[in-house]
Amino acid sequence: MHVNRLLALAASTLLSACASHLNAPSETVSIPDTDFRTTTGITYSPDNWPQELQADLYLPDSPAPAPAVLLVHGGGWERRSREDMTWIAEHLASRGFAVMNIDYRFAPEHTFPAQLYDLQIAINWLHARAGAYNLDRTAISAFGFSSGAHLVSLLAVIAESQHPLNQPHGGADARPEAVVAGGLPADLRTFGSGKLIRQFLGGDQQDIPGVYEAASPITHVTAGTPPFFLFHGAQDMLVPADQARDFRVRLAEHHVESELYLMHLRGHITSFLTAGNAVEKATDFLIRHSGMQPE
């Protein structure tokens, strides 16, 4: 087991009592752990893409087609790498999921919607290679934290809209079956024009308000939006917990299933570093929406 995963699970166990789980199901999920194999540094971007992009692929040892998860790291749309998500990828793979842990293009060199397009081609890559990797095309979900949570959420809500962002790389196959979003900035309009958002979107909000609106997942929710599991630090000062609460209200207005795991005593970074228990609950959520059969 990866050392980061051990540390995260240990820390989260100590803090697990300091959490609120809204709309939590009463039943528990029992899926035995499985071995998995890993292939690193796969290029998933097309030959003509502006930047070559890599992913690590985790494949569980299972004769049946495996449900899959697209995994997306945080970093303010400008830094970090897929290595941050390795412990989550290993955890999901050990529970029977195939996992595609990706890198994507960074701001300010590449502004929105470049990153969304990267995710769209990544999830379509999974669909196109489902036969080769023994994947269940009907059970491909997405999981992200912070800016990664923003991107997987936008991927999900855009896929069910008529917005131009759904073309040319979106479409039916770009819709995840379920989404896990940790530390989600759901409404970019509420952050003003701070450096990270300004360089991600390419300008100040007063100059390009339509871009800020289009890049905000909360503005695209429909009745066809897939189910969401949200986890968030209650003391998050970078991305306030109201972002998750307000997004959940919007989901409820459209009768979209959601769960909110609110982590008390934790801010933005600590809610990721001690996310072991949240990841366990999120994995149960994904299992329920994957068609996997519990013991």
Q: What are the residue ranges of helices labelled H in 104-232?
A: 114-128, 130-133, 147-158, 195-201, 209-214
The pTM score is 0.93
The answer to whether 288 and 30 are in contact (CB under 8 A) is no
Q: Has residue 74 been placed in a domain?
A: yes
User: Which pair of structure tokens corresponds to residue 16?
Assistant: 């697990």
Q: Has residue 41 been placed in a domain?
A: yes
The answer to whether 267 and 241 are in contact (CB under 8 A) is no
- The rounded distance, in Å, linking the Cα atoms of 262 and 259 is 10
Least confident of 23-32, 81-90, 162-171: 23-32
Q: Has residue 193 been placed in a domain?
A: yes
- For the chain, give the percent of residues with pLDDT over 70: 92
Q: Has residue 293 been placed in a domain?
A: no
- The rounded distance, in Å, linking the Cα atoms of 185 and 103 is 19
The answer to whether 198 and 204 are in contact (CB under 8 A) is yes
* Exposure class string for 222-261: b at 16+ Cβ within 10 A, else e: eeebbbbbbbbbbebeebbbebbeebbebbeeeebbbbbb
pLDDT digits (tens, 9 = 90+) for 89-105: 999 999 999 999 999 99
Residue that wins the pLDDT comparison between 15 and 98: 98
1 pLDDT tier (thresholds 50, 70, 90): very low
Residues with Cβ within 8 Å of 291's Cβ and at least 6 positions away in sequence, in order, are 67, 136, 138, 139
Q: Residue 63 half-sphere exposure, CB side, CA atoms within 13 Å?
A: 0
- The rounded distance, in Å, linking the Cα atoms of 250 and 160 is 15
Q: Has residue 294 been placed in a domain?
A: no
Q: Has residue 166 been placed in a domain?
A: yes
Strands (E), the chain: 19-22, 36-43, 54-60, 66-72, 98-102, 135-145, 179-182, 228-233, 258-263
pLDDT digits (tens, 9 = 90+) for 238-273: 999 999 999 999 999 999 999 999 999 999 999 999
Q: Has residue 227 been placed in a domain?
A: yes
Query: What is the residue-wise DSSP string for 260-274?
Result: EEEETT--HHHHHHT
166 pLDDT tier (thresholds 50, 70, 90): very high
Q: Has residue 113 been placed in a domain?
A: yes
The mean pLDDT value for 169-181 works out to: 95
- For the domain that residue 74 is a member of, what is the CATH number? 3.40.50.1820
| pLDDT exceeds cutoff 90 at 29 | no
The answer to whether 196 and 252 are in contact (CB under 8 A) is no
Provide the domain limits for residue 40.
3-288
Residues with Cβ within 8 Å of 121's Cβ and at least 6 positions away in sequence, in order, are 44, 45, 46, 49, 169
Please tell me the total count of domains within the chain.
Answer: 1
Q: What is the largest CA-CA distance in the chain?
A: 55
What is residue 32's predicted lDDT score, i.e. its pLDDT? 80
